Amino acid sequence: MSVIIIVLTIISAVFTAGSFYYLRLLGYSASYPPKRILKQKALFCTGSAGLALLLLFFIQLLI
């Protein structure tokens, strides 16, 4: 069970870092990927991190 907790923690950390990265790219005036694509990527990373944290929370409740 501890391996699952560690893996979910790493996944949520990676997705959180990715969302911050894409949100930072949104602040630049000229960037190659269009703003619409960056918003979609940031939203996906944020949602995935939230889902991983939710799974982590429920697994902690079961232990």
Place of tokens 């979609």: 40
Query: What is the pLDDT tens value at each position of the chain, 63 positions in all?
Result: 789 999 999 999 999 999 999 999 988 887 788 899 999 999 999 999 999 999 999 998 888
Q: pTM of the prediction?
A: 0.84
Q: Where are the domains of the chain?
A: 1-62
CB 52 within 8 A of CB 11: yes
What is d(CA 17, CA 22) in angstroms, rounded to the nearest whole number? 9
Q: Give the tokens for residue 48.
A: 């995935």
Buried b / exposed e along 7-41 (16+ C-beta atoms within 10 A): ebeebbeebbebbeebbebeeeeeeeeeeeebeeb
